Amino acid sequence: MTLAFVSGILTLVLLAELAVAGGTYTLSDVIVGEDFYDAFNFEAIPDPTNGRVHVSNYVDSATAQRLGLTVATANSFIMRADDTTVLSPTGPGRNSVRIRSNNEYTTHVAVFDMNHMPEGCGTWPAVWETLEADWPDSGEIDIVEGVNNMSPNQVHLHTGPNCSIPSSINQLGSVLTTDCNAAVNYNSGCGSALSYAPNSFGPAFNAAGGGWYALERTDNYISVWFWDRNSWLTPADVRLGSPIVDTSLWGTPAAYFPNTDCDLATHFGPNNIIINLTFCGDWAGSAAVYSASGCPSTCVDYVNNNPQAFEAAYFQFASIRIYE
């Protein structure tokens, strides 16, 4: 038995152990309904991805509530885009919302109980974490992201240089790219597609009644799980919103990022949670991407002229639970 063979076996064993290592975390924050208004800041900023949203800006909290773009009830929070206005090609874009958590997080677990996510040609919804003032050096974790109804969900990291992931990982998803450096490969980052779960994104996610996304971030690994609403594999502590969760019992993650080829402790700093919906822009509006999705017309023309197509372009959260 050669030394190289033994080394390879040990590496695989280490990766397998890390992928199921997990830990125990205690509930630190529950965000439900009206709590979203206190827990998040509405970012009325230019869209960094050049999307077709209002004057290249997302709307503020007062405007969002006045226009019905956000609605809070006792057990849900909805944030959506305008679905009534035909846009002038030379005028403002479509009203939409981008929110950022007031709290920053390092080592933690975040569980997103989602009943619905935005769908429609031209849409680009995302649930992610980063520190905007220090991007990409404080890292970025894309938990939910996709465009133009194209399933499955994609989970990515974006970092500074000298961070990558192995091409073979103990996870359920399929590795797409391995270099996390945001400065190369058109900022594609490193990550995976949840190809095993076509109902992880868009219309299929909504038809299934939604589900749960969960993130565990540590200095040794970052894991993301997905369970659809009716999955018998959903852990009881996730389904019940327990005060304590044990990620070692959650099974193989959908996407897994070990620290074997990336010092996560130095590539990730305190991050905020960000939730947003934009249209077109650098990814959804790319001519090649938009055409490949089977969507009609051009992205901008479609978004401008078909407001009724965005009646289902909304997030509905039952809750977000943070554990530390």
140 is catalytic: yes
43 is catalytic: no
Q: Are 270 and 138 within 8 A, CB to CB?
A: yes
Distance (Å, whole) CA 223 – CA 109? 9
Query: Which token pair is 204?
Result: 């299929």
Query: Which token pair is 237?
Result: 């502590």
Q: Which of these is catalytic: 140, 216, 311, 324?
A: 140
Neighbours of 155 (CB within 10 A): 32
Q: Are 313 and 120 within 8 A, CB to CB?
A: yes
- What are the DSSP calls for 197-228, one per residue? -GGGSHHHHHHTT-EEEEEEE-SSEEEEEEEE
Q: Are 20 and 252 within 8 A, CB to CB?
A: yes
Residue 312 has φ and ψ, to the nearest 5°, of -100, 15
Catalytic residue list: 140, 145
